[in-house]
Structure 1
């Protein structure tokens, strides 16, 4: 199923933001999840198609060790999460990618696994990277318990009472994943092999389904262990309390280069979001039900911001700005009906640009999209891209035309002096230990001779400099015959010429560049919340917090 090019609504043209503003890393790093986030797309589809869910296997002992199978049954296909729960000694519990054991390991299977499949998976899935799965499996994942909260919840439930809402809110999850592998890793099915299925055509749908069912497993596990501890006194976790729990995730630099390596996808994700914002701003009136839904979303955002915490100084500053900004928005919309006159959403947006800092501006974007599902949800069809289609370099293009593209679309890159030590202070490479991307300090560490080509700005500037030696009417082929090292950048410039949101418009090897901003941008597209940086290179987040569970998905009024 190939994604068609997005067709913008003409009347929304004047309301679209400039890509030069949108694609700055400092703004991308303040992104908030929206109703176009991948997990929301998954939930809406399952609700719309009336998917069914069951748990045919739950063979787990009093210590929380065993296996379980959860099924998601769609109109055409069934997907099964196979979960293995382990008794992990405390000294072996680690969120680092080099860990070799976890509290739980998982695989998402195509169809319903039989006994032989379960035995095969029991040998391989707990090993994660050291094991192997087959084309029957779509994802491979692992998770660790939030040790204090996990045990606290079990103890409370086993004694017949609920844990406090504040205790749950402080952490926000019972387990956190340290990896959710898909797209062909370790023998699993490739993403391309699934694109003809409507339910997996949108980005990362198999991964999102995996995490959503892991969330149910974690609640079932604490309920089960509480009952095994005291069958007479134990009570299940309250429905409202469990709603506030998501699945945690620890994510590091391995995810960051994705946005650079997949410029067409990045363009589609950002363009769909920006088209959605423009459509909302273009509305001439604000219906009462839309205003009501906006205010509900605003209150929920204020509640979330109130319990969202971080020990990282930068994130603490951002949280303070967010809370203050949300309060300003609430005060503004509470002033009376004048705010909802002609083109009210555009007026609200312009007010936000003048009175809010960037963090709150991006939160306002998310809030403004929330009431307008009927207007923007169809944009989810444009988020994917067929990256298997080759894009041939146009060798006949004139040098002058290529130079104009660089000057117009890569001006941000041409302004940097890459001979400056700070501007070239870092380099990207792949670690030998885990074959994962890492970031090195160019003038302090060895390894820059194995640098990954993620220095797009520097490559653009080098190409622009090389063009000076050629006449404007020379063909690009002549340049490439003389300087083959510029082939990749020429191809990229031509590829992104009609894709204005394809590039992060910042120097990604600068000594002050914050990789966590790249992580947050991608994770917000997933639908992640509660961003909690632990350094400038890895972050903890929560997925599916306040989302429905399988048994109440179909009673949810608006997803």
Structure 2
């Protein structure tokens, strides 16, 4: 079933959750990946279209230095991950964005690189920001080893033994990326250049493809190093152990403002997910197939929750809630839930909303959506956005209409505190060193005069106050001529008119704001798992853990 005409009004269905419920940071920070995640969309497309995969270049020495090319061959185009391996001393290994050297560096090339392309890329890609790439490159990324696990796997395979499965499952990756840049950064292709290609239409498909092929590279590299060390005694990594490995990622504040800066895109992502859950809840009956799929998804969620570890106290508390909540779901299914009754999925969800903490509610939502692919997969087509079409301000809109929109879409902002020190304790800015977003303490740090306009709730209140003395029939263009500082917020108000999920409904400059909640929401849409905050400002995650490899897709593995 395709997305159809999604009604922008949440009141149009009793099953779709309200923006007041889902657009709060606490719930966004409990998000779980679903089958609509961008990496799942990519894997399904490649399997359905019978993509082929080749590795035409593999040139590495015994220290892991060298280069490789991985080709993903689709119906119309080929994309190639070009990977460079480096023998990095331990003292130079850092996940910080200011690092200048890494264990591996990558670019996703549009087509198949020839010898001249590889020479050019070898001069630039290992330098990352200090180098330059061209419009033939769609992404630029780098990764570092998870040293202890990486060395363990190489040593075991070299000795003819398989690595310890528990260690693989606990860490979950051999390498973690510290940045995956796309959309025109450092000379790479702009998003507009590829947005009309079917395989790239969904958000972040180039980045997902780059990371997925990077995962294949990490396994190939440990097997190569084991072979070089162990010779005839070495063995390859067992298929069931390969599946335990994903690609790690360290993500910080640089990603956090994205959801605020792209309200149309955020609305479309949230709307698709909420429509998916609503469609499941609206089903009058549960079929044996969907029940079996749900039970499998719930069991997988329970196993993931038990294996998921974190050293951060906030996430530790959430993990306890998640495990207990999922156990409660299993008990409710076994002892109480009438799966053969009228609207059984809605009954299950209403019970969960009344009884479960947020972590467990959102995990349950993902499990309920999982077995309903025929019902919800078409919604993936609704998750991209033409943001330019909503950019122009309608200056003819009356003050009365803007006031009505503020009341309808921003009433949540009007009661928030922005005037006390706690209510405006922080400010967002761009660092001079790396041109990355950062979060400052207003009372203790300089730079507030260069604040980024991410204080949406405060701007909404300011606009409402500015309109108080204007006649209702005045065109808003007249207001902006007199007070142009409200242009940014007025544009957002007009964007939100038909997009109820466009705004994060919290104060993003308050003393208690947790940027990791923004990070988790975005990363869950990517398909990330194992969120492990290292502070309130950066997090480690895993991508593609449990997913098929290129050779598995060719064999028809489940995506």
Bin of the TM-score, shorter chain as denominator length: over 0.9
Specify the SS of the correspondent of 1:340. Answer: coil
Specify the SS of the correspondent of 2:339. Answer: helix
**Aligned equivalent of 2:546:** 546
**Aligned equivalent of 2:32:** 32
Report the CA distance shift for 1:363/1:29 in structure 2 as closer, same or farther (over 3 A). Answer: same
Q: 2:10–2:16: 8 Å Cα contact kept in structure 1?
A: no
Report the CA distance shift for 1:8/1:367 in structure 2 as closer, same or farther (over 3 A). Answer: farther
Shift of 1:419: 1.4
Shift of 1:13: 1.5
Distance 2:13 2:303 in 1: 34
Q: 1:8–1:275: 8 Å Cα contact kept in structure 2?
A: no
Specify the SS of the correspondent of 2:134. Answer: coil
Distance 2:29 2:167 in 1: 28
Q: 1:12–1:279: 8 Å Cα contact kept in structure 2?
A: no
Q: 1:124–1:132: 8 Å Cα contact kept in structure 2?
A: yes
Q: 2:8–2:498: 8 Å Cα contact kept in structure 1?
A: no
Shift of 1:171: 0.7
**Aligned equivalent of 2:522:** 522
Q: 1:339–1:347: 8 Å Cα contact kept in structure 2?
A: no
**Aligned equivalent of 2:360:** 360
Distance 1:84 1:276 in 2: 40
**Aligned equivalent of 1:96:** 96
Shift of 1:553: 1.2
Specify the SS of the correspondent of 1:228. Answer: helix
4+ runs deviating over 6 angstroms: 8-12
Gaps of 5+ in 1: none
Distance 2:531 2:230 in 1: 36
Is residue 378 from structure 1 mapped to residue 387 from structure 2 by the alignment? Answer: no
Larger deviation, residues 351-360 vs 9-18 = 9-18
Larger deviation, residues 231-240 vs 523-532 = 231-240
Q: Deviations over 1:363-387 (max 9, x none)?
A: 1110000000000000000000112
- TM-score, normalization by structure 2: 0.98
Superposition map of 1:223-238 within 5 A:
223-238=223-238
**Aligned equivalent of 1:508:** 508
**Aligned equivalent of 2:322:** 322
Distance 1:176 1:396 in 2: 51
**Aligned equivalent of 1:43:** 43
**Aligned equivalent of 2:403:** 403
Shift of 1:338: 2.4
Specify the SS of the correspondent of 2:50. Answer: coil
Specify the SS of the correspondent of 1:516. Answer: helix
Report the CA distance shift for 1:390/1:327 in structure 2 as closer, same or farther (over 3 A). Answer: closer
Distance 1:45 1:432 in 2: 40
Specify the SS of the correspondent of 1:124. Answer: helix
Is residue 202 from structure 1 mapped to residue 183 from structure 2 by the alignment? Answer: no
Is residue 83 from structure 1 mapped to residue 76 from structure 2 by the alignment? Answer: no
Report the CA distance shift for 1:213/1:370 in structure 2 as closer, same or farther (over 3 A). Answer: same
Specify the SS of the correspondent of 1:230. Answer: helix
**Aligned equivalent of 2:458:** 458
Specify the SS of the correspondent of 1:181. Answer: strand
**Aligned equivalent of 2:175:** 175
Specify the SS of the correspondent of 2:545. Answer: coil
Q: 2:403–2:467: 8 Å Cα contact kept in structure 1?
A: yes
Q: 1:264–1:385: 8 Å Cα contact kept in structure 2?
A: yes
**Aligned equivalent of 1:121:** 121
Report the CA distance shift for 1:9/1:282 in structure 2 as closer, same or farther (over 3 A). Answer: farther
Q: Deviations over 1:421-458 (max 9, x none)?
A: 00000000000110000000000100001100110111
Gaps of 5+ in 2: none
Shift of 1:530: 0.2
Larger deviation, residues 387-396 vs 463-472 = 387-396
Shift of 1:556: 4.4
Distance 2:302 2:556 in 1: 21
Superposition map of 1:257-276 within 5 A:
257-276=257-276
Superposition map of 1:492-507 within 5 A:
492-507=492-507
Shift of 1:397: 1.7
Distance 2:158 2:440 in 1: 49
**Aligned equivalent of 1:440:** 440
Shift of 1:112: 0.5
Distance 2:212 2:256 in 1: 23
Is residue 419 from structure 1 mapped to residue 419 from structure 2 by the alignment? Answer: yes
Report the CA distance shift for 1:337/1:486 in structure 2 as closer, same or farther (over 3 A). Answer: closer
**Aligned equivalent of 1:335:** 335
- TM-score, normalization by structure 1: 0.98
Q: CA RMSD in A?
A: 1.5
Q: Deviations over 1:492-548 (max 9, x none)?
A: 101111100000000000010000000000000000000000000000000000000
Q: 2:337–2:348: 8 Å Cα contact kept in structure 1?
A: no
Distance 1:128 1:411 in 2: 44
**Aligned equivalent of 2:490:** 490
Specify the SS of the correspondent of 1:15. Answer: coil
**Aligned equivalent of 1:256:** 256
**Aligned equivalent of 2:157:** 157
Shift of 1:7: 5.5
Specify the SS of the correspondent of 2:250. Answer: strand
Q: 1:12–1:278: 8 Å Cα contact kept in structure 2?
A: no
- Number of matched pairs: 557
**Aligned equivalent of 1:145:** 145
Shift of 1:262: 0.4
Distance 1:392 1:492 in 2: 10
**Aligned equivalent of 2:242:** 242
Specify the SS of the correspondent of 2:342. Answer: coil
Distance 1:193 1:340 in 2: 50
Report the CA distance shift for 1:18/1:11 in structure 2 as closer, same or farther (over 3 A). Answer: closer
Distance 1:295 1:66 in 2: 45
Superposition map of 1:7-18 within 5 A:
13-18=13-18
Specify the SS of the correspondent of 2:233. Answer: coil
Is residue 111 from structure 1 mapped to residue 111 from structure 2 by the alignment? Answer: yes
Report the CA distance shift for 1:549/1:268 in structure 2 as closer, same or farther (over 3 A). Answer: same
Distance 1:384 1:164 in 2: 41
Distance 1:359 1:411 in 2: 26
Specify the SS of the correspondent of 2:280. Answer: helix
